[in-house]
Amino acid sequence: MQAELLASEQLLKSTNERLNQQIHLFESMENLAAVGYWTSGADPATLRWSKGMYRLAGLAPGSVMHRSVGRSRIRAEDQEKFAQARRAVDGAIVEYQWEHPDGRMHWHRSRMQHGSGEGGEAIVFGVVQDVTHERAAALALQDRLGFIQNITSRVPGMVFQLRLKTDGRFQFGYVSDLVREIFRGVSPEQIMQDAAGILKLHHPDDVSEFIASIKASARELKPWRHEYRLRFEDGEVRWLLGQATPEREADGTVLWNGLITDITARKQSEERLRESEARFRALTELSSDWYWEQDAQFRFVRLDGSSQTSMRLPEDNYLGVTRWETDAQGVSQAQWAAHRAVLQAHETFHDFEMLCTDAVGCLTWVAISGTPIFDVQGQFKGYRGIGRDISERKRAEEKIERLAFYDVLTDLPNRRLLMDRLQQALVSSAREHGAGALLFIDLDNFKDLNDTQGHDVGDALLQQVAKRLLASVRETDTVARLGGDEFVVMLQGLERTQADAITQVEQVGRKIMAQLNQPYRLGSAEHHSTPSIGVTLFDNQQQTLDDLLKQADLAMYEAKSAGRNTLRFFDPTMQALVTQRTALELELRHGLARDELVLFYQPVVDQDARVVGVEALVRWQHPQRGLVAPLAFIPMAEQTGLILPLGQWVLRVACLQLVSWSAQAATERLTMAVNVSARQFRQPEFVQQVLTMLRQTGANPKRLKMELTESLLLTDTQDAIAKMSELRDVGVRFSLDDFGTGYSSLSYLKLLPLQQLKIDQSFVRDVLTDPNDAAIARTVLALGQSLGLGVVAEGVETVGQRDFLLQHGCTRFQGYLFGKPVPIAQLRLGGAD
Ligand code: C2E
Ligand code: MG
Ligand code: MG
């Protein structure tokens, strides 16, 4: 028993020793690991703490024997958590804060387990670890993450770190919180766990390109930049822009730091822009409008849509230039100025109308509207606007205008337009002192034609009459139809003197009469029609439109009652003049035939009063009226064309006279000056006629001198030079008659093959009394000298005049002082006698 006891004592001892050793080992371990443990049974008073536990808790060993004491320093908020774990026990882990006597809060983690006590009773066994450092580290990490998130949240995108591992798998190292927003609820943890999973959110069409772009970046280590789409289950599509810079790590992995931004808004606005641009193009292409833009200097910088329209504006003519530098037409200087003022004021404008030349060179009416462009700072940047082809509208307007102002049947101006033009003519005739005339034309017996043949035939006649009237007048004159068979012709810019104007109007009237008397072809039949014409002249604003029309109308009735197919002037004195003139014309015709004309000769003398030649001046020996001066019939002859046979007659007589003089020594050197009128000279056959006359009569061309007037030479100077040169070549000489009354310029004088100037008698008359006339006479003489032209003074009546002229270099004189124009029989040739 003793031995047994001893043995068992030994065993106990050794067991205790082993236990102690174990406890010791355990406690030093406990110490090293900063852990402690506790055991407790069902009874709260059976709590036992290990040494490590006391150290951990910061309490004196042996001071805790009861559960309430053991839990006394667990933070109030954690009490319940701890109690729950204590009840649950099995493997429960609870973390709580411990109010350490050092004044700080320590974090304890306790793991609880069932066990059995020394007596085999059931106990709970807890291991406690001080995890304050661990918690602090986690908190610090949390802090850092928070800090990074905080920073990255300010970046307008999702910050990430991505790693491509050597096994080919992708792994996110960091993803900022914005991932939740961009990928709609995906958490950083999720994406970090499963990098590839995110691809499920990518738009299926964009996945392969996305992967290829990342791989390319990894392969070439070049920055990654890729735009791609996400597509969510509900169909929402987002555009993302990924950007990252790759680096290769020592272990062969590739590491990107980068950013993913949501660019949906930008993409959408780009898309909207593209759409609106496309819409806009479609619009400009479909419509006849085009779009234009100008810079701040109003130079075209863009022209859209015109190529598709009928307009086809040639862009090259526009880009880089302003509107007024293009070949635009139909805009007056004032309109351009107004347009530019609007642009300078940066105002919007509407429907600025002008004519443009399109690519094929056609002029087209366009209307331009524009509005200024300002940038966000309010700085003026230029103009933009549209242009529109308005030729259709213009045509329509023209049509409407035609309806309002033109006669539909004949297309001639109607009464309204005539009155308009007459009003203008009155104003301009008052200003320019040029007379005008109204010819009221009524077709004789038109009613009969209408009644017997029907209106269609009547209309056809009226249309033909309209055409003939138009052909009878100048383009500047107006032919109007008042209605029915009444037409009015308005003439403007007539000759200055009333007599001349009357002659002129009468001529036109006769021409119209002749034209309208020609047979008409109406269908298959030939028709004859005659007009009655009433004429009135106007030359000032005092006359009213209605008065004038009434006068012409009255005159027309006069013509009707005078037997139709005739012309009457309104004013009785006018009518008398016309009648007289008409009679005169007839008489002159007869006179020419009956040889009633006579040539008078007026001597031209030199400084010693010796006759060197004569001027032939025509007279008419009228059986009743006696000797008629040329001014009474030459103008009429000019107007009626009688001047042609008259001129031929004068030339023939003068040439024959030269021939007869050539037979005697005393007279053989005399020259013969012949006056040539404009109408004569302008005939194409003039030169030929003169040459023929010279040949037929055998007169010496060198003795023949032709007197021309300035006005004659001013029109068609080239033709005049050619004719004069041709005649000069055979010896005929030319003198400029009435010099000083016209408008000759020096440069033009030099051009003409002239030999002589004749100072007009109006200057000679007052040469002693009027300093102006004296100056002109002197100038003409000086001019003649410098140009190498001889100068004749005509109309010399006094010795004083002759002396003055002689003193200033004149060597040839003509005038009553030396002899009046006389018939050949009375001509005294000085030296000859
Ligand atoms: P003209 O050629 O300038 O002729 C000069 C005119 O002055 C002539 O008038 C003449 O009689 C006139 N006269 C000459 N000396 C004097 C003078 O000392 N004092 C004044 N007061 N007058 C003088 P006439 O003969 O009445 O002829 C007038 C115009 O008729 C001519 O002006 C000429 O333009 C034109 N004329 C005359 N004969 C002919 C002709 O055969 N053919 C053409 N086409 N016109 C002619
Ligand atoms: Mg003359
Ligand atoms: Mg003269």
Task: Determine the pLDDT at residue 25.
Answer: 56
Phi/psi zone of residue 698: left (φ > 0), alpha (ψ -120 to 50 degrees), beta?
left
Judged by DSSP in three states, 161 sits in strand
Taking the CA atoms of the chain, what radius of gyration do you get in angstroms? 63
Strands 611-622 and 520-522: unpaired
Which of 134, 117, 105 is closest to 33 using CA atoms?
Answer: 134
pLDDT the model gives residue 833? 38
- The C-alpha atoms of residue 802 and residue 798 are separated, in whole angstroms, by 6
Query: In angstroms, what CA-CA distances link 702 with 209, 572, 725, 732?
Result: 108, 51, 14, 5
Contact 720, 752 (CB under 8 A): yes
Residue nearest ligand 1's atom 22 by CA: 795
778, 808 Cβ separation under 8 angstroms: yes
User: Ligand 1, atom 25: nearest CA belongs to which residue?
Assistant: 617
pTM value is: 0.46
Number of residues that this document lists for the chain: 833
Instruction: Give 68-122 pLDDT, tens digit per residue.
Output: 888 889 999 999 988 888 888 777 888 899 999 888 888 888 888 887 777 777 8
Question: Dihedrals φ, ψ of 256, to 5°?
Answer: -110, 140
**Average pLDDT rounded to a whole number, residues 127-150:** 75
pLDDT over threshold 70, residue 779 = yes
Residue 558, pLDDT > 50, answer: yes
Question: What letter represents residue 728's amino acid?
Answer: R
Residue identifier of the C-alpha nearest atom 34 of ligand 1: 675
| Helix (H) / strand (E) containing 370 | strand 363-374
Residue 592 scores a pLDDT above 90: yes
* Structure confidence at residue 831 (pLDDT): 46
Mark the residues whose beta carbon lies below 5 A from ion ligand 2.
675, 707, 737
Ligand 3 centroid distance, CA of 618 (Å): 13
Q: Nearest ligand to the C-alpha of residue 760?
A: 3
Dihedral pair phi/psi, residue 714, rounded to 5°: -70, -35
**Any idea which of 497-511, 605-619, 704-718 has the lowest mean pLDDT?**
704-718
CA dist 391 and 687 (Å) reads 53
What is the residue with the minimal CA distance to atom 23 of ligand 1?
Answer: 795
The helices-and-strands tally (H runs, E runs) of the chain is 27, 32
What's the 797 CA to ligand 1 centre distance in angstroms? 14
What local confidence, expressed as pLDDT, does residue 34 receive? 65
How confident is the model over 458-468, as pLDDT tens digits? 999 999 999 99
Starting from the edge strand earliest in sequence, which strands make up the sheet with 170-175, in order? 170-175, 158-164, 254-262, 237-248, 224-231
The pLDDT value given to residue 640:
80
Beta strands in 553-623 (DSSP E): 567-569, 597-605, 611-622
> pLDDT by residue (tens digit) across 345-373?
999 898 899 988 877 778 888 888 888 88
Going from the Cα of 741 to the center of ligand 3, the distance in angstroms, rounded, reads 10
Is the separation of the CB atoms in 130 and 108 below 8 Å? yes
- In angstroms, the first-to-last Cα distance of the chain is 218
> Which residues on neighbouring strands pair with residue 244, listed in sequence order?
224, 258
Give the binding-site residues of ligand 1, using a 6 Å CB cut-off. Answer: 602, 617-618, 629-631, 634, 647, 650, 675-677, 707, 737-738, 761, 794-795, 797, 814-816, 821
Burial of 356 (0-12, 13-18, 19+ CB in 10 A): buried
- Please say if the pLDDT value at position 33 is more than 90: no
d(CA 565, CA 514): 10
At 5, is the pLDDT very low, low, confident or very high (cuts 50, 70, 90)?
very low
Residue nearest atom 27 in ligand 1 by C-alpha distance: 630
Give pLDDT tens digits for 403-448: 788 888 999 999 989 998 988 888 877 666 578 999 999 999 898 8
Q: What is the pLDDT of residue 832?
A: 38
17-31, 242-256, 543-557, range with the lowest pLDDT: 17-31
Concatenated DSSP letters of 193-219 = H-TGGGGGGB-GGGHHHHHHHHHHHHH
